[in-house]
Amino acid sequence: MASLLAGPVRVVNIGLSGFARELAANGAAVAQVDWAPPKAELVSALQRLSSRESLIRKANDEAMARILSAEPVLADVRRAGDLIPALDGARLMLHAGPPIEWARMCGPLRGAVCGAIVFEGWAPDLAAAEKLAASGGVQFAPNHHHGAVGPMTGITTRSMPLLVVENRAFGNRACAP
């Protein structure tokens, strides 16, 4: 504690920036955090969720029961274009997560996209692949829109081999690299 108090004043200011300005003007190191109390709509939404707590718990319990009683079985290994018709004949690439365009993709996802472009032969090298992706020459869609899943960046293109996993307990199936 003594070492903490022995040094210069360091402040994290949450809320009104006027406090931070005054401290900074007097030589204190200040980190400003923009914060405001929750808006009425947010409070209202949280109250509505709270009133449905038993329904939410029941739904979560059902989801967990289905996960625990699943019977996943490796049924096949097939080329992605054979399993997902939208992949054949188009420069379509599936990815993990929600819909996203090239400009908003993180570095690891961009790297996976470029590697897959070269793998498919749509570009001769990574630099050309990046230009192709940035120019709109490749379409992107979430794996889950096509009955597939993917770990990490989850890239799926037409030539990639996919595992076909069937859940014998519930009759559904999914594909994954």
Is the pTM higher than 0.85?
Answer: no
Look at 70 and 51; give whichever has higher pLDDT: 70
Number of domains in the chain: 1
> Model confidence over 123-139: pLDDT tens digits?
999 999 999 999 999 99
Residue 169 has pLDDT above 90, yes or no: yes
CATH number for the domain including 91? 1.10.10.660
pLDDT on residue 20: 87
Residue 2 has pLDDT above 80, yes or no: no
pLDDT on residue 103: 94
Residue 44 has pLDDT above 90, yes or no: no
Q: What single-letter amino acid sits at 165?
A: V
Helix (H, G, I), strand (E, B) or coil at 151: coil
C-alpha 162/C-alpha 170 separation (Å) is 21
Look at 3 and 69; give whichever has higher pLDDT: 69
C-alpha 117/C-alpha 154 separation (Å) is 14
Q: Tell me, rounded to whole angstroms, the distance of Cα 116 from its chain centroid.
A: 18
Q: Is residue 41 part of a domain?
A: no
Look at 164 and 18; give whichever has higher pLDDT: 164
Q: Is residue 113 part of a domain?
A: yes
Confidence of residue 1 (pLDDT cuts 50, 70, 90): low
Alpha-carbon distances of 111 from 32, 45, 67, 106, 159, rounded to whole Å = 34, 39, 32, 9, 18
Q: Is residue 49 part of a domain?
A: no
123 is in which domain, residue-wise? 70-176
- Locate tokens 């994290």: which residue? 12
Q: Is residue 54 part of a domain?
A: no
Q: Is residue 1 part of a domain?
A: no
Confidence of residue 142 (pLDDT cuts 50, 70, 90): very high
Buried b (16+ CB within 10 A) or exposed e, 59-75: eeeeeeeeeeeeeeeee
What percentage of the chain exceeds 90 in pLDDT? 62
Q: Is residue 136 part of a domain?
A: yes
Q: Is residue 107 part of a domain?
A: yes
Q: Which helix (H) or strand (E) holds 163?
A: strand 161-167
Cβ neighbours for 28, distance < 8 A, ≥ 6 positions apart: 8, 9, 10, 11
